[in-house]
Structure 1
Amino acid sequence: MPVPSFRLDDSVALVTGAGSGIGRRLAIGLAETGADVGCLDLPGSDLAGTVEAIGSTGRRAVALPADVTRAEDLAGAVATVERDLGPLRLAVNAAGIANAAPAEDMPPEQWQRVVDVNLTGVFLSCQAEGRALLRNGGGAIVNIASMSGTIANRGLTQAHYNASKAAVMQLTKSLATEWCTRGVRVNSVSPGYTATPMNLRPEVAERVAQFEADTPLGRMATVDEMVGPTVFLLSDAASFVTGTDLLVDGGVTCW
C-alpha cells in the first residue's frame, strides 16, 4: 500500500486571517504544498504581500478583503474564490484577535468583540466554506484554536480569549460529526506560544521569558512550525482524522 500523500496539489483553499501572522504563513504554506489559495483578511491588511508571496511559489492566489463577523462578506469571498480559482475543497480559519483585561473590570463590549471574531467569525467562516465543500463533494477544514482553550495561561488575564478558543474546539467537534457522512472533515490546530505580533503586543511582550520557561522545549514556536500540522490535517494523510484538536505547544500542556 503506498504512503498517503501529504501534498495538496491542485486543490483550492481559502485561508482567513491571511494578512499577517500564522494565517499568512499558512496561506503561503498551502501554496508551497500545491494549493491555490484565496486569502481573506480585513480591508487594509497586507493581503497584497501574501498574494505576491504565493505567486512566487508558482501557485495562484486571490485577495479577499472581508470581515469574518459578516456572513455576507464570507459568502461573497467563497463565490470569488470559486469563480477565480475553482471549486473550494480546503479551508483554514486563522482570523482572530487577543487583548487582556482582568475579568472583574472587563467591559462587556471587550468580551463581545473577542467572542464575535474568535468564535462567531469561525462559525460563519465554517458555515460559508462548509456549504461549498458539501456542494462540491467533500473536503477538509482546519480551525486555528489555541492551547488557551485547554489551559489558562499563567499570568495572563484573558478569560474572554480562553473561553472563545475552547468554544472553537467544541465547535470543531460539532461540525465534524454533522458533516462526516458527507465527506467533510473538520479539525483544529492549537498553537502554543508563537512568535507573532499577537504574542509580542505590549501587554505580553515582557512575558516572553516566562512563556519560554513554561514551555518544555524552552522557546516559542515560529510560524513555520504551524504549517506541517495544518497541512497534515488537510491532506489525504489524515483521511481518518476528524473532530480532533492537534496541540502544537512545545509541551506546555504536559505541565
Structure 2
Amino acid sequence: MSSRLFSKPLPTVSRSLALARRPPRHVVLARAESTINTAVAAKARVLKTLPEFSMANKVCMVTGAARGLGNEFCRAFIQSGCTNLAILDLKEEEAAEAAQELVKASCVDSDMEPGDYNVIGIGCDVSSELSVQQAFRRVMDTYGRIDSVVASAGIVENYSAFDYPFDRIKRLYDINVHGAFFTAREAARNMIPQGGGSITLVASMSANIVNIPQPQTPYNAAKAAVKHMAASLAVEWAKKGVRVNCLSPGYMLTKLTKTILAHDQELKKTWESLTPMGRMGDPEDLAGAVVFLSSDASRFMTGSEIRVDGGYCII
C-alpha cells in the first residue's frame, strides 16, 4: 500500500481528553436499553414460518414409513401441520402401529388431541403394481384427494458384483426402481384430475458417486435410475400440475445403521472421514428438505435433486 495515503499527519488527541469526552458506561447502557421496544421484542420471540411451508391443508402419503427415514418424513409433515397422513409399509400391522405412535407423540406438549388427526396405516408391497393401486384406492376413499407423496421404500445390500445373487438383484430393482415408478404413476393419476400435486422420489447420494469401501453396484445403479426417473416424469407431467423432485440423502444414522455400525466402528470412521462435515447425518437433518419439496414453498420447482449429504458429493 502506498505511503502517500498516510503522508499527512493525523491529529492527536490525548488519552485523558478522549476519556473525558466519552460518556460514563452506565449512560451508554441506559441509552441502548431505552431504544428497545419491549412489546415488539415480545412479539418477535414468537416463532414465525413462511406460510407456504405449512402442510396443514395437505393430504400426504409416504411409502416405507413404518420406520427409518420414511417415518422421519411422516414426523416432519406432522410437525409442519399435516393432520391427514397415510403411512404405507409392507406389513399393515406395523404401518398401523407406526400411525398410532406418531399421533400419540404429536399430542405431547401440544394443543392437539388424537381426534384431530386422521393418520392411517396401510399395508403395501411397492414392488407389486396391483398392491400400490389398491393402497392409493384406500387413500382416495379415506381422504378424497392426495396432495403430497413421498416414495421412500427401498433396500440396500452389499455384495461384490461377482457374488451378487440374481434373485436379490431383481428384488432390489423391484422395490427401489419399479416401486418408485408404480408409486409416482398412481400418485399422478390421482393428482392430475384434482389440479396437481407434489411427488418426491427418495434416491441417494449414491446416484451421483460410487460408495466406498462397501460394494453395492446394483443399489447405486438403482438410485441413479430413480434420480433420472424423477427428472423424466417431471417433464412429462409439468403442464399437468404435477411436480416431481428427488431427495438424495447421504449417510444417515438411522436405528438400523446405528446397529450395524456398532459392530464396525472403523467403517463409521471411514464414512465420516470422507464426508466434508466430518459426521453422518441425523434423520432429522432431512426434515426441512422433504417439507420444502412437498409443500407450496417449492411450487416452481420440478425435476430437481436436493442432496443432503454433508458435502460428500462435492469432493
Same fold judged by TM-score > 0.5?
yes
- Counterpart check, 1:183 vs 2:241: yes
2:99 to 27, 51, 68: 51
Shift in alpha-carbon separation, 1:44–1:138, aligned structure 2, 3 A: closer
Please list every run of 5 or more consecutive structure 1 residues that lacks an aligned counterpart in the other structure.
none
User: SS where residue 37 of structure 1 aligns?
Assistant: strand
2:77 to 18, 21, 30: 30
- Counterpart check, 1:11 vs 2:69: no
Shift in alpha-carbon separation, 1:102–1:45, aligned structure 2, 3 A: farther
Deviation at 1:42, TM superposition (A): 0.5
Which piece of structure 1 moves more, 92-101 or 46-55?
46-55
Shift in alpha-carbon separation, 1:157–1:65, aligned structure 2, 3 A: same
Q: TM-score, normalised by structure 2?
A: 0.77
Deviation at 1:228, TM superposition (A): 0.7
2:121 to 57, 63, 76: 63
1:73 to 121, 131, 146: 131
Look up the match of 1:215. 275
Amino acid at match of 2:183: S
Look up the match of 2:157. 99
Amino acid at match of 2:60: A
User: Residue 12 of structure 1 contacts residue 86 of structure 1 at CA under 8 Å; is this kept in 2?
Assistant: no
1:41 to 66, 70, 89: 89
User: Residue 173 of structure 1 contacts residue 186 of structure 1 at CA under 8 Å; is this kept in 2?
Assistant: yes
Deviation at 1:198, TM superposition (A): 4.9
Please list every run of 5 or more consecutive structure 2 residues that lacks an aligned counterpart in the other structure.
1-48, 107-115
> Residue by residue, what CA displacement relative to the aligned partner does 1:187-218 show, whole Å, maximum 9, x if unpaired?
01000000124534648962111111111111
> Residue by residue, what CA displacement relative to the aligned partner does 1:119-145 show, whole Å, maximum 9, x if unpaired?
011001111111111122100011110
Find the aligned partners of 1:10 and 1:238 in 2 and give their Cα distance: 15
Runs of at least 4 residues of structure 1 off by over 6 A? none
Find the aligned partners of 1:197 and 1:103 in 2 and give their Cα distance: 27
User: Residue 62 of structure 1 contacts residue 84 of structure 1 at CA under 8 Å; is this kept in 2?
Assistant: no
Find the aligned partners of 1:149 and 1:25 in 2 and give their Cα distance: 21
Deviation at 1:45, TM superposition (A): 6.4
2:232 to 174, 179, 184: 174
> Residue by residue, what CA displacement relative to the aligned partner does 1:77-113 show, whole Å, maximum 9, x if unpaired?
1111122223111100100001110001212112111
Find the aligned partners of 1:211 and 1:198 in 2 and give their Cα distance: 16
User: Residue 261 of structure 2 contacts residue 268 of structure 2 at CA under 8 Å; is this kept in 1?
Assistant: no
Find the aligned partners of 1:198 and 1:241 in 2 and give their Cα distance: 32
Look up the match of 2:140. 82
Superposition RMSD on alpha carbons, in Å? Answer: 1.8
Amino acid at match of 1:5: E
Find the aligned partners of 2:67 and 2:93 in 1 and give their Cα distance: 8
Look up the match of 2:41. none
Q: Greater CA radius of gyration, 1 or 2?
A: 2
Amino acid at match of 1:182: K
Aligned counterparts, 1:78-157, within 5 A: 78-157=136-215
Amino acid at match of 2:275: T
Find the aligned partners of 1:21 and 1:229 in 2 and give their Cα distance: 16
User: SS where residue 53 of structure 2 aligns?
Assistant: coil
Find the aligned partners of 1:124 and 1:78 in 2 and give their Cα distance: 11
Find the aligned partners of 1:59 and 1:199 in 2 and give their Cα distance: 31
Look up the match of 1:225. 285
User: Residue 176 of structure 1 contacts residue 243 of structure 1 at CA under 8 Å; is this kept in 2?
Assistant: yes
Shift in alpha-carbon separation, 1:102–1:25, aligned structure 2, 3 A: same
Percent identical: 33
User: Residue 126 of structure 2 contacts residue 175 of structure 2 at CA under 8 Å; is this kept in 1?
Assistant: yes
Find the aligned partners of 1:197 and 1:175 in 2 and give their Cα distance: 32
